[in-house]
Amino acid sequence: MISSNDSPLKPVRIEQVELRRIAMPLVSPFRTSFGVETDRDILIVHVEADLDGVAIDGWGECVALGEPTYSAEYVNGAQRVMVEHLLPRLADAASEGIDAADVGELLRSVHGHPMAKGAIEAAVLDAQLRAAGMSFAELLGTDTDTKGRPSRIPSGVSVGIHDTVEALLTTVQGYIDDGYVRIKLKIEPGSDIEHVAAVRDLIGPDVPLQVDANTAYRRTDGQHLAQLDQFDLLLIEQPLAEEDIVGHARLADEVETPICLDESLVSAEGTADAIELGACEIANIKPGRVGGYLEAIRIHDLCLARGVPVWCGGMVETGIGRAANAALAALPGFTLPGDISASTRFYARDIVTDPITVVDGHVTVPTTPGMGFDIDRPFLDSVTTSVETIHLSP
């Protein structure tokens, strides 16, 4: 869909890259099977570029967590690999001009680190789009519906693990009252069957419901997880370890509820293999996890061709990542509601001037030039804890 050969975007000359760390408290603790988050230490990539003598900014968000619990990447490591290995590999091309479509190839010699690579690619793409006066949604063709009206996407919400069923039901009812059209419950052994049963009883049979295990179960848990079939769930997300593709394929034969992969999917090639093996009946596409929005588009196109439904997952992003996710999730293969909730789901105040909101259970796809947002510079400065600047071209 987007390549250096057919893109309407021009390469930009990158003069320097600013790696900015910000501290963002969450409005409430968010508990998953791998830990509890109360605040976020976030790495923001800011490129200062030039096109035909005009200065341009570009912004990207690295979604790595503070500790290597969701994946091997973590925020301190992401910053160091950018400084010591990734950005130096862009230096030779920076003065001539860099296209986001070429970033992946320029960084290919460095194994792994998709979240770090994806943040750099997003910042370059944001700069190119701003230079062209074009939004990411316009580039993707997701900025309007068939009648020319602003495109909207259904909004789901991710609900963390709670200590009691009563507390969980109170939280879920609040999100139903807010108009969210789909509920996702984080689960783990001991906080699964009873919790799901209570929520299904609360919301009724018509509200889409799904669960996310974040690798908390093992191959021997098939019979236990099959108890979830009675609740008419959309999917069971990532029940087994990320490397256990064969185990997921076997589990898909043991349960009726579709198996969705998250942590296991890190590339289009790996996604194709998982689909072929029967391990991936539904795909959760997270741009940061797969190395950027361009690889996310390739995975979308693959799944669309294979008839595999996809949806857009979240990594507790600020408005930088949340806006771009909304544009991505309007592509035709995203047939299930994603985790693109309102900014206020996690943050009392966002670092963008136009944070994502939910109206009637839907999010309007942002059409601001760039990836879909404008930075609230005074507030960004107020939450910044450190800045590291790397000069790429004279």
Which residues belong to the active site? 186, 286
Residue that the structure tokens 């068939």 belong to: 146
CA 60 – CA 324 distance, rounded (Å) = 10
Beta 259-261 vs 310-312: how paired, if at all?
A: unpaired
Question: Nearest 5°: phi and psi at 294?
Answer: -70, -40
As separate numbers, helices (DSSP H) first and strands (DSSP E) second, the chain gives: 14, 13
The residues, any chain, with a CB within 8 Å of residue 261's CB and separated by 6 or more, are 237, 238, 248, 271, 274, 279, 280, 282, 283, 284
Kind and range of the H or E run holding 367 = none
Residue 155: exposed, middle, or buried by beta-carbon count in 10 A (0-12, 13-18, 19+)? buried
CA 210 – CA 212 distance, rounded (Å) = 7
